Amino acid sequence: MVRPGSPIHRQTFNALKDLGADFVRYVPWFPYPKMAVAELKPPTKEHTFWDFTYLDSTMEAIMSATEGHSVVINFSTTPAWMWKTEKPVVYPENPYQVFWDYNQGQTLRDSSGQEIADYYVRLFSWYTKGGFTDELGKFHQSTHFYKIPYWEVLNEPDLEHHISPELYTRIYDKIVSALKKIAPDTRFIGLSLAHVSNPAYFEYFLNPANHQYGVIPEGISYHHYSTPSFPDQDVNSYQYPFFEKADAFLDKVRYIENIRKRLAPQVFTTINEIGSILRSPQITQPIPAAYWNLSGALYAYLFLNLTKTGIDVAGESQLVGYPTQFPDVSMMNWQTGNPNARYWVLKLIHDHLGKGDQLVATSFMPRQPDGIVAQAYQTSKGRRILLINTRAAETMLELPDTAKYRAIYTVDMHTGDNPPSEKKLNNTQITLTPFAVSIIQAD
């Protein structure tokens, strides 16, 4: 659905461009091997099999839509033939046929990691150096000379190939030491964990003693998705496990931060997959409209609390989902091409809040309404208040009369797939509808 022939291709990349975000993460993923892997067959003595047909067009669209902003590139899917498997992995010839069994094997056929590092040197050179020389000495010319400020090494290694902390660190070091030779200004991000229940990954990877000479970890990443407690819950019940699991995740973030500060305080952190998942990637049932607002409120809640924890980047996942590809995680309506509430919450925050803003002590009087989260900011654009309704109930609030309020911008079930509403504030009383996210502009 992100390919040029997709009916929502143009709208998707226009939405990405309009967002104007930094640290936009691009991860071609293994369920579509032809769109994720540049060398699907091992070289022979006579031939190599490099093919960027399906990789190039989407990469070009990403780089064009993010021009002037930073990107995090992660061609995470490694060629299956580089892993020891019982038999060769046979992938579909149809590039659009989903194939969930591509990532087989847990042991590299080249235990040194040099083969996989060489693959990434050539792939990186294709996109940044105008081409590369293949295994047989033939030069493959491209027209790409992209600047890639951040490169992430693999994706969810705790799930994909079930890579141990020790093996991952060895692979990371091989890839990074090779890429640093041709891209000394690129900063590298490691781990990209799906689950953060095992501190061994952080303890091992962040310990400088476990890296080869000359490799110093620069950034780490990990992910969070809130899920229902059981399959048959309805959207009004999701609110409780979604935010309970978010709070449990935040406890883990604080624990990981202690490890990072102890072992590698120079390392920055990007939690670059934040979202919610209802069931499975193959979900086909209709998704309630209120779900998108709930998921947007969840992102706003985590954004705020990750800011308080000192996390550098909070990335919402994912731009385009659709049936068979985690449709419940999408920020785009795959049927109409319009951004949904998850996108508009992100854009609302991005347009009003930013790096360098000061968080101001914020409290409720006489008591905090159930499920309402508030945070006041002093920004370069003036004072702002972020309001998040984490409950499926309408709540009325009274703002203090010590400031002059100009407008309130809101994403809620009334706005749907449309931009945030904008209303002038003529009094201090406001109403937050279920799962609403609002920003108040004050003098």
Question: What CATH number is given to the structural domain containing 421?
Answer: 2.60.40.1180
Query: Which of left, alpha, beta for 84 (phi over 0: left; psi -120 to 50: alpha)?
Result: beta
Q: How many other CB atoms sit within 10 Å of the CB of residue 105?
A: 17
Give the pLDDT confidence score for residue 231 in this predicted structure. Answer: 73
Give the pLDDT confidence score for residue 235 in this predicted structure. Answer: 83
User: What is the C-alpha separation between 395 and 370, in angstroms, rounded?
Assistant: 9
Helix H segments across 264-365?
289-309, 341-352
Q: What is the pLDDT averaged over residues 99-105?
A: 96
Residue 63, in any domain of the structure: yes
Residue of 125, 123, 1 lying closest to 61 (CA atoms): 1
* Residues 263 and 206 sit within 8 Å (Cβ to Cβ): yes
Give the pLDDT confidence score for residue 283 in this predicted structure. Answer: 67
Residue of 263, 274, 183, 175 lying closest to 223 (CA atoms): 274
User: What is the C-alpha separation between 190 and 8, in angstroms, rounded?
Assistant: 32
Q: Which of 134, 160, 186 is the last residue of a domain?
A: 160
Q: Which of 145, 160, 175 is the last residue of a domain?
A: 160
Report how far apart, in Å, the C-alpha atoms of 197 and of each of 268, 307, 309 are: 20, 21, 18
For the chain, what is the total number of helices (H) and then of strands (E)?
8, 17
Report the 3 state secondary structure along 365-416. Answer: CCCCCCCEEEEEEEECCEEEEEEEECCCCCEEEECCCCCCEEEEEEECCCCC
User: What is the C-alpha separation between 9 and 16, in angstroms, rounded?
Assistant: 11
pLDDT, tens digit, 9 for 90 and up, residues 152-169:
999 999 999 999 999 999
Task: State the pLDDT confidence band at 403, using cuts at 50, 70 and 90.
Answer: confident
71 strand-pairing partners: 24
Residue 308, in any domain of the structure: no
Q: What is the pLDDT averaged over residues 3-18?
A: 96
* Residues 271 and 343 sit within 8 Å (Cβ to Cβ): no
Burial (Cβ within 10 Å: 0-12, 13-18, ≥19) of residue 49: middle
Residue 121, in any domain of the structure: yes
Residue 404, in any domain of the structure: yes
Question: Into how many domains does the chain fold?
Answer: 2
pTM: 0.96
Task: State the pLDDT confidence band at 389, using cuts at 50, 70 and 90.
Answer: very high
Report CA dihedral (224, 225, 226, 229) to the nearest 10 degrees.
-120
CB environment 250-285: b (16+ within 10 A), e (fewer): beebeebeebbeebbeebbbbbbbbbbbbeebebee
User: What is the C-alpha separation between 50 and 37, in angstroms, rounded?
Assistant: 9
Residue 69, in any domain of the structure: yes
Give the pLDDT confidence score for residue 284 in this predicted structure. Answer: 62
The single-letter DSSP state of residue 216 is -
Residue 345, in any domain of the structure: no
* Residues 334 and 327 sit within 8 Å (Cβ to Cβ): yes
Structural domain span for residue 78: 1-160
Task: State the pLDDT confidence band at 422, using cuts at 50, 70 and 90.
Answer: very high
Q: Tell me how far apart the terminal alpha carbons of the chain are, to the nearest angstrom.
A: 43
Residue 337, in any domain of the structure: no
User: What is the C-alpha separation between 66 and 77, in angstroms, rounded?
Assistant: 22
Those residues whose C-beta lies under 8 Å from the C-beta of residue 261, and which sit 6 or more positions away, are: none
pLDDT of 281 > 80? The answer is no
Backbone angles phi, psi at 11, to 5 degrees: -65, -35
Task: State the pLDDT confidence band at 296, using cuts at 50, 70 and 90.
Answer: very high
Residue 375, in any domain of the structure: yes
pLDDT of 285 > 90? The answer is no
Q: Which of 160, 185, 207 is the last residue of a domain?
A: 160
Task: State the pLDDT confidence band at 367, using cuts at 50, 70 and 90.
Answer: confident
pLDDT, tens digit, 9 for 90 and up, residues 204-217:
999 999 999 999 99
